[in-house]
Amino acid sequence: MTPATNAATAPAMTPAPVAPDAVSSTPTLRAALRRSGFWVAAGAGALLVAIIATAVAGGSASGGPPLAADNAAQAGARALVEVLRNQGVDVTLAGTLEEATAAAARSTDPTLFYFDADGYLTRDRVTRMAGLVSRTVVVDPDFGTLQALAPGVGFGGLAASASRAAGCDIPSAVKAGRLSPGGKTLTIAADASGLTGCFPTGRGAFALVARRDQGRTITLVADTAVFSNDTITRNGNAALALNLLGSSGDLIWYLPTLADVARTGPPSLGELTPGWVTPTLVLLVVVALAAMVWRGRRFGPLVAENLPVTVRASETVEGRARLYARSGARLRAVDALRVGALQRLAGKVGLSRLAGLDEVILAVAAATGRAPGDVRATLVDAVPAGDRDLIALSDQIQDLERATARATTSPPPGRMDL
């Protein structure tokens, strides 16, 4: 049969069904971007908000202490200081009272600008500061500063929203005209003398209070808005600040710092504890000593008293032997036997109990006729490796004692060895 015939007569084979195309499980780049688009947008938005917030915070940052001469931020006073310098005023910056004192000593007739936002100076140092120059401008004084410089001046709260006219005869206030609305104010007591208030609010409060005493002028400005960068251009703030601080050729710009705080070490334990603690501790110590003396004294001499039972020596020996056997202390057991044997052998050969080990070994060897090395091995050097060696070594010690006893014992009188 030919291959063609076989192919013709062979039954027809049904082709296997073709499986549909498998769907790939790996996402494409477009599908991945579409799926994570929300999170990408959210992250970009958060990053944008953070950048804007950082920029806004950096722009509104203080840039230094308030009313600092080198602070160009809104709360600083760099604008005023630069204008004063352009007008020929020599501005000296001081961070401590000592620096302000040295600057005042170098100038002929300076003006002192003082602003203590953190209250570093005590009343005594505030009084000392006010006596450095003849013209002192104090900004936003606290209670301690008012009590030290002008006891008749108090706090008047916030001013009304309307601008305020000078209302006084002080030249710098008259030239300023009107101040910007709002801000802190000061009050003057009815019985106070030598005080002049300017820019009244209508409720007995003023934005500026001046005190003249013995050729010195202390000007108290209630609010910092007159000097700060962000509000100095409002109304007559700039005119008032320039006339107050630019009346002389030298200006000391003094802002106290931590260096003005007195350096006192941490309080001691005695300063922190109440006053009754020390007497109480002394009393407790005395009571404890009295109790020790009372309970520690003897009631009489010690009395020797016999035990109510009698313990046999054999029981003690057996008990100690059981302890040695239980703990496997063979060397400790044989050492106990050797110590006792050495003491007995020393007495048998005529030596004292204080005789040295070598003396006892030589004497026993001479008496028994044995080699000193063998005697030393029996009494010192031999170490038992097991219970059998321990028993054998104890027998050797006992045999050595017997031989020494025979060698050192005299024969009875009348007996002769033939």
**Which residues does 173 contact at the CB level (< 8 Å), separation at least 6?**
166, 198, 199, 208, 240
CB 125 within 8 A of CB 97: yes
pLDDT at position 14, please? 45
pLDDT at position 330, please? 82
pLDDT at position 15, please? 47
Could you tell me which of 214, 244, 253 has the C-alpha nearest to residue 107?
253
User: pLDDT-derived band of residue 33, with 50, 70 and 90 as boundaries?
Assistant: low
**Which residues does 407 contact at the CB level (< 8 Å), separation at least 6?**
367, 368, 369
Rounded to two decimals, what is the model's pTM? Answer: 0.52
Look-up: residue for tokens 């005869």? Answer: 169
pLDDT at position 298, please? 63
Range with lowest mean pLDDT among 7-21, 36-50, 65-79: 7-21
Per the model's pLDDT, the better-predicted residue between 253 and 354 turns out to be 253
Residue 26, pLDDT above cutoff 70 = no
User: What domains lie within the chain, and their CATH numbers?
Assistant: 78-259 (3.40.50), 328-407 (no CATH)
User: pLDDT-derived band of residue 67, with 50, 70 and 90 as boundaries?
Assistant: very high
> Backbone dihedral region of 274: left (phi > 0), alpha (psi from -120 to 50 degrees) or beta?
beta
Each residue's pLDDT tens digit, 126-169: 999 999 999 999 999 999 999 999 998 999 888 776 677 888 98
pLDDT at position 310, please? 76
d(CA 69, CA 239) in angstroms, rounded, equals: 18
> Backbone dihedral region of 390: left (phi > 0), alpha (psi from -120 to 50 degrees) or beta?
alpha
pLDDT at position 413, please? 53
